[in-house]
Amino acid sequence: MKLTKEQKQEILDQQSQQNTTKRVTSSELEKILYEAMPVLDHGFIRVVDYMGDDTSIVQSARVSYGKGTKKVSTDSGLIKYLMRHRHSTPFEMCEIKYHVKLPIFIARQWIRHRTANVNEYSARYSILDKEFYLPSSEHLAAQSKSNRQGRGDLIEGDQAKKILDLLKNDAERTYNNYEMMLNERFDGSTIDENKKGLARELARMNLTLNTYTQWYWKTDLLNLLNFLSLRADNHAQYEIRAYANIMLDTVKKWVPIAYEAFMDYRVGGMEVSAKGKLVIQKLVKGEKCDYENSKLSKREWNELMESFGFTEKMI
């Protein structure tokens, strides 16, 4: 992770502030507020602002006067109930804002979650950093044969080296061309005083998708948890999962009761169809039930058997 001198100073200035407030705050989240947490090779994520905590969720659910009207154990029970029965609006009362530095191809995947306020670094106004994401060898894998949007076996040896060299060389070559078209280098110096530079909004179009961009991403807790349920999942792409895992840790610091309920009912839980419920009921009773008479699809049957530990019955 690379921070400019100005960014480092800005973070120090932000962290040295001494403000008083009557609003609820999260002591654990306050400890990492503004801190740039490294992700991938040059990326980072940091919490720059937030609103509310666990008590804000229960307060809005009860429409009560404020923090401390019920015991923590009672608050915990209510949050678990809300999470278990998917009552959504109380979780919308908490909001958080992140500053994220990430590769463009991950940003384009991320932006598909259309439930946040986003302001991205403008390559029409400024020159993009000369930084590119290059996967480490343990994440360089072939296309999966069973999943069209997943990875399969690792690519190793000379083939892996050739691929990494191609990624690096292509990124560096296109960035050099980017500077040449701009007639300006990243440090602001002019390449040729006798030439005009191409408009930044045009010069950027030739850059590779592993070039880093940055944005501010603000969302409420409900939509953040929806995002994390997909992107922190083991089946998610590694690169976006790396960001999601750090965000998940910030949620734990911010709203620990809601985090626990989320991990229990959303991450560790499983939705079962009516047909799937009948299958489990039969198996628990010791009755015979197999894939042929379950009326489930092959995929649903396998997922159900694996989730409940009936691995010997998978087809």
**Given 206, 230, 257, which residue is the final one in a domain?**
206
**Half-sphere exposure (CA, 13 Å, Cβ side) for 171?**
19
**Half-sphere exposure (CA, 13 Å, Cβ side) for 63?**
1
Question: Looking at the structure, do residues 112 and 171 belong to the same domain, yes or no?
Answer: no
Rounded-to-integer distance, Cα 44 and Cα 4, Å:
13
Enumerate the active-site residues: 231
Q: Which domain holds residue 308?
A: 274-313
**Given 206, 222, 250, which residue is the final one in a domain?**
206
Q: What one-letter code names the amino acid at 296?
A: L
Per-residue pLDDT at 308: 85
Tell me the two tokens of residue 150: 């997943």
Residue 203, pLDDT > 50, answer yes
143-200 residue pLDDT tens: 777 666 677 788 888 999 999 999 999 999 999 999 999 998 888 889 988 999 999 9
**Crossing angle for the helix pair 54-62 and 72-84, nearest 10 degrees?**
80
Q: What is the CATH number of the domain that holds 118?
A: 3.30.1360.170
Any idea of the CA torsion for 180, 182, 188, 191, to the nearest 10 degrees?
40
Strand partners, 103: 212
266-289 residue pLDDT tens: 998 888 899 999 998 988 888 888
**Given 160, 191, 206, which residue is the final one in a domain?**
206
Average pLDDT on 80-100 reads 95
Those residues whose C-beta lies under 8 Å from the C-beta of residue 15, and which sit 6 or more positions away, are 33, 34, 35
Residue 34, pLDDT > 70, answer yes
241-256 residue pLDDT tens: 999 999 999 999 999 9
Question: Looking at the structure, do residues 38 and 66 belong to the same domain, yes or no?
Answer: yes
Q: How confident is the model at residue 314 (pLDDT cuts 50, 70, 90)?
A: very low
Question: Looking at the structure, do residues 35 and 61 belong to the same domain, yes or no?
Answer: yes
Structural domains of the chain, count: 3
Which of 4-18, 82-96, 143-157 has the lowest average pLDDT?
Answer: 143-157
Of residues 256, 225, 218, the one with CA closest to residue 87:
225
